Copies of this chain bind each other. A is one copy, B any other.
Amino acid sequence: MPELRKDPIIGRWVIISTERAKRPEAFRKYPNVKKGGFCPFCEGNESHTPSEILAYRPNSSARNGTGWTLRVVSNKYPALMIEGDLGRVGMGIYDHMNGVGAHEVIIESPRHEDTLSQMSTNQINDIFWAFRDRILDLQNDKRFRYILIFKNEGEPAGASLEHTHSQLIALPIIPKRMIEELDGSQSYFNYKERCIFCDIIRQDISDGDRIIDENEEFISLIPFAPRFPFETWILPKRHNSRFESAQKNELESLSKILKRILMKIDKVLEYPPYNLVLHSSPFSIPSDDYYHWHIELMPKLTHVAGFEWGTGFYINPTPPEEAAEFLRSASIT
């Protein structure tokens, strides 16, 4: 059983993942993503993954067989386990909890050669619908407090398989980063009676120099204080705290703007590895007034080093306005 542990000093939780415990020799070389070779996520290899939780099968093909366009399965090496109760206990000064949670993989395409930036907006739209379907289902499990969805693209960004996929982790706690975002946006709302994200959109449209792209429903921009070079946020223009209550036309617009920004990043930075994270309000917290869901996209270009670990803040070598200009002017066709 994996464990959740809480640092007694700053309150940060850690998953001790006993199910995939590594011995020192496993760290002696960086694992290489297999180029070609056997891939459990490819169509035809369905028996090599855990049984499917959800699949889109346009021709009503049989469960766990071929003929799908998107498939959701449990992670074969989960960081958290779906069975069991939380078992909160204190151990002297330390707090301990069982590592209960869901860890799922969204296989975004049956084809090994597909990458998100080159897929059609319809295919990308299906991925967002799968996110929505899984969130709505997992919200029924009362043990969970937060559902995180993210994508690691490329080995330096943490992907262990190169076949295009996203991951979902349902957690029995609200993570530190989300609490910080909720606290910050709530304080702002209490003071100004406005959503801080709505104010960011308004000011950044007015300033203009951090905007990359926009359409009817979404805007993409480099934030004012990005941690990383070319860090990009995609925000809905309509105030809404939760991704899962986005409307059908919004998900279509989101698919379009995401494809465009990924193509621009691929063009400017030549297919960098990246992390993409969906930020949405926990369903257990009434934050409709002050929180605003969005996507954060971070190309993996620099190493996090002693300075960042020691301070919790970041040295970013590219001014955001310059990064935005590079991406804004990148032509894609």
Contacts and interface: CB of A to CB of B under 8 A. Distances in A.
B319 A200 contact: no
Contacts of A268: 24
A61 interface: no
B167 A306 contact: yes
A93 interface: yes
Given A151-B306, A306-B152, A93 B199 contact: yes
A317 B20 contact: yes
Given A7-B224, A15-B316, A310 B175 contact: yes
Nearest to A158: B305
Contacts of A320: 16
A318 B21 contact: yes
A245 to B, nearest CB: 20
Q: Do most interface residues of chain A lie in helix, strand or loop, or is the interface mixed? A: mixed
A13 B180 CA distance: 14
A316 B16 contact: yes
A227 B22 CA distance: 15
A11 B315 contact: no
Interface stretch (A45-53, A113-121, A133-141, A273-281): A273-281
A301 B27 contact: yes
Residue among A10, A197, A317 with most chain B CB within 10 A: A317
Interface residues of A, number: 95
Contact of A319 (B21, B24, B229, B230): B21
A225 interface: yes
Interface in A1-37: 3, 5-18, 20-24, 27-28, 30
Contacts of A227: 12, 14
A270 interface: yes
Contacts of A38: none
B313 A12 contact: yes
Nearest to A7: B225
A243 interface: no
A226 interface: yes
Contacts of A167: 306-307
Contacts of A298: 309
A180 B224 contact: no
A191 B159 CA distance: 43
Contacts of A158: 302-307
A22 B229 CA distance: 9
5 contacts: A9-B196, A14-B315, A21-B318, A156-B303, A275-B306
List the 5 closest pairs (A to B, CB-CB), nearest first.
A158-B305, A150-B306, A177-B312, A175-B311, A277-B310
